[in-house]
Structures are given as structure tokens and as C-alpha cells.
A and B are shown apart, each in its own frame.
Chain A
Amino acid sequence: MNVRKQAMTLTLNDELVEVLVKPYETLLDTLRETLGLTGPKEGCGTGDCGACTVHLDGKAVASCLVLALQARNRQVRTIEGLGTDDTLHPLQDAFVRHGVPQCGFCIPGVLMAAAALLAETPRPSDEEIRYGIAGNLCRCTGYTKMVTAIAEAAAAVPQGAR
């Protein structure tokens, strides 16, 4: 295989970034290894666990299944760009208050899946919340608090806002 690196640009957490990537490198590897964003995690590497969930053009995707070059000229958001240094996203705030994280490994992926869900469905039912995070495995099995926290954050966000 040709391993010559290719240059590409993407908008990462609202900033234009230029990066050199190997042809068959995943977006997850680029984010973690080259760009130093270690929020997205590699659990399974095959799209089954959701720990690597990021937003690609606003949609939740498994970044371990995306080739980095497929994100060229597109918008990528990771957990690092969900809130700001000063202000947590309402979902993060609810997760902290409810003590959702146990070991914490799945949490960045869960938060990104939940944020994408609320962007699409601002007032989800409990069932919609459960399906919204059904692609995220939590081996600590802390799902009940997740659903509670996501429902509370949804109720707190004014209609029409992110």
C-alpha cells in the first residue's frame, strides 16, 4: 500500500485545521495521535461500542470507521468542542450533577451521541433517548443515570437552541 501522507483540511471544533494523514488512517487515529484530542476513545475499533463517537457535519458517527481523508473539508466536533473551558454543555453539566461517569471510558461517546440526539430531537421520549444511545456500550452498566441526565438536560435547553 502507498503510505505517502496526504494533506487535508477540516473544521475541527470550529477551527480550520490542516493535517497530514496516511491514506488508510482512521479519523479516530488522526484525532488522537496527530491532533492530540484524546476524548474520543478506541473501544472495539469496529463500530460496535460507540466510544469513538464524534460529530461529522453535525451527525453522530463512529470515527473508527471513517477514513481520515473522508473528513476532508467537513465539520468535525469532538467532546473537546462540546462545551467551552468556562461553560459546560448542559449535557455535561447534568452528567456531573447526576454522577453519571463511573470508569468514564464511554462517557465522551455517550455525550456526543446524546448531543446529536438533542440537536435532532430536542424533547426526546425515554424510548428515543434509549435508542439514541443504543450504539454506546457502558461496561459499568450505568445507563439509568445517563437516561435521567439526558432527559433533564433536554428539558433545560430552550426549544430551538443547541
Chain B
Amino acid sequence: MILPGSVKECVQALAEHGAAAKLVAGGTDLLPQLKNHLLKPGVVVDLSGVATLKKLTADKGLRIGAAVTARELERDGRLATGAYRGLAESGALVGSVQVRHLATVGGNICNAAPSADMIPPLLALDAEAVIAGPRGERRVPLRDFITGVRTTVLGADELLVELSVPDPGPHSGGAYLRHTPRRELDIAVVGVGSQVTLANGVCTKARIALAAVAPTPVHARAAERALEGQALTPQRIEEAAKLAVEAARPISDQRGSVEFRRHLVRVLTRRTLTTALARANGGQA
């Protein structure tokens, strides 16, 4: 086990060990895989000693270190209202409190499960992934970061260091909802993160991101376009919710059928848009 103290040392360790190395931050995904022998890394690189990965700064947008925990998103006062509330809501839904104190944003993204809760709100906020590697830093829009079920653009010699969220502007609101049979320690049947920005009573930007309805989290682009430039009436929101269903390509499994998941996309899109709108207007909904 390698215990680096900086991002530079992490990159050096990855350069030395390549694909044999596996990074561990919170360990909530990695440890069960190690225990079930699904993963046999030559060496584990522990990120818990890298302080810069744990920083969350809010100044004209957000910079979220990859090792910021779900619990920190849940409880950070700067995320408690308006534009970033959806992100806080997604953090609050991960695992249990014992898991949220460990599980990290970066881990959730790099694990790249279709059902990952913290990804839709970040997609809806147009977040960018900041990646460190032997050739320095590169930035990739989060929507391009995940390439398939549990696969990402990360090279074997790279690590995700930060999520960079652009300033959403003064009248922006976000919300995240998921459906699960039980509230805690469950995995989303469908998750929806919505974000709207307003100017003079008109929606200038709308983002709707869906989880657990495709191999990767996806944007509902037709629904977003139908809202932009419009006043967000309940009718328009309902139309957008219907359009969002078209972006979903769900599978049937033990958690839900195709039909049920499509129904949930419509319901959760309507609810998150309605809540996001209220928050963009300064409401505490």
C-alpha cells in the first residue's frame, strides 16, 4: 500500500505501477470488491493523506476536491439553498451516515455506476472534471467523462482531482430526487437532477440529468431545449417531463421494469423541475 501526501506523489505512484495500481479514497466501493476478489490490484494507493483533494471552495462557482465526502455535501451550509441544493440532496441519499462519512464524490464518479446519486446534480450544474496525470492537468466536461458502465476516460496513469462547477448565476435552483423502495442504504431505481436559471421571469438555462436509465447518466436534451427561453409554467414543466422520458433507455431488472422506470423519469423530472424553479425564485422548498 502506497501512502502519498500530494497529488504529485499519486501521479508518480501511478506512473510506476500503471494498471496494477488501484486508488482508494473512501473505500466504500473498493473494499467490497477487494473482499469478493472481484479486484486483485498489485498495489493500492491511498488518497486519504492528500489534503488538497478534501477541499471544497465556493467562490463564483464551486471547486469540489475529489475526496470531499457525501456527508460534507449533505451538511455544508454553502450548498444548503438555491443553486447547489440538489447536490446536497444527492449527498444525503448515499448509503447510511456511516457510509456517507467515507464515500467521496470522486469515488462515486470514477466508479461510474449508472445509478450513482452524486453525478446527476453535477451534470445539471455543467461540472468539469479536473484530471491530473504525468503530462499535467487536463479538464473534461463531466458529461464526457463517463464512457460506459463502470468505465471512464481516465488513463491508468491519471486520477480525478477536482470537480469544477461554473457560477450558475444569481437566480438558479437545483433539485435531486430518486426513487428507492427504502430511504437508506438503497440504490436508485431512477434518479433525476434538475437545474434551472432564470432572468426576467424566463428560463435562460435548463439542465435535466437522469440516472439508472441508461449505461451512463444522461442529459434529457430535448426537454432542456423545450424549457429554455420560456416562462416555466406547470404545463411547460409537464411537457418537458414527457420529453425527458425519450432520453431514457432503461433496462428491466429486479429493481424496476422499463415501463416503471420511464414512468418514474416523468414524475421525478416534473417534481425536480418544480422544486428547482421554486429555489431559483428564492424559495426554501
Contacts and interface: CB of A to CB of B under 8 A. Distances in A.
Interface in B186-243: none
Contact of A131 (B43, B71, B97): B97
Nearest to B183: A134
Given A134-B183, A134-B185, A60 B101 contact: yes
A132 to B, nearest CB: 7
B31 A67 contact: yes
Which residue of A116, A132, A135 has the most chain B CB atoms within 10 A of its CB atom?
A: A135
B181 to A, nearest CB: 14
A23 B44 CA distance: 8
Interface residues of B, number: 28
Interface string A124-156: 000000011011100000000000000000000
Contacts of B43: 1-2
A69 B46 contact: yes
Given A24-B34, A70-B48, A134-B96, A65 B27 contact: yes
A135 B97 contact: yes
A89 to B, nearest CB: 19
Interface stretch (A12-20, A30-38, A48-56, A97-105): A48-56
A61 interface: yes
A48 B185 contact: yes
B1 A26 contact: no
B149 interface: no
A50 B46 CA distance: 23
Q: Is the interface of B mostly helix, strand, loop or mixed?
A: loop
Q: Is the interface of A mostly helix, strand, loop or mixed?
A: mixed
B3 interface: yes
A157 interface: no
B256 to A, nearest CB: 20
A24 B35 CA distance: 10
B32 A135 contact: no
A56 B27 CA distance: 14
A53 B99 CA distance: 10
A106 interface: no
B1 A23 contact: yes
A42 to B, nearest CB: 11
B40 interface: yes
A79 to B, nearest CB: 14
A69 B185 contact: no
Nearest to A117: B97
A135 B102 contact: no
Nearest to B48: A70
Nearest to A69: B1
Given A24-B44, A67-B24, A67-B44, A53 B98 contact: yes
A117 B97 CA distance: 10
Nearest to B25: A70
Given A6-B1, A46-B31, A47-B102, 6 more contacts: A1-B42, A2-B1, A47-B31, A56-B101, A70-B24, A136-B96
12 contacts: A2-B43, A24-B1, A47-B31, A47-B95, A56-B101, A65-B31, A65-B32, A70-B24, A70-B27, A113-B98, A131-B97, A135-B185
A-B residue pairs, 5 tightest by C-beta: A135-B96, A23-B1, A134-B184, A62-B98, A46-B32
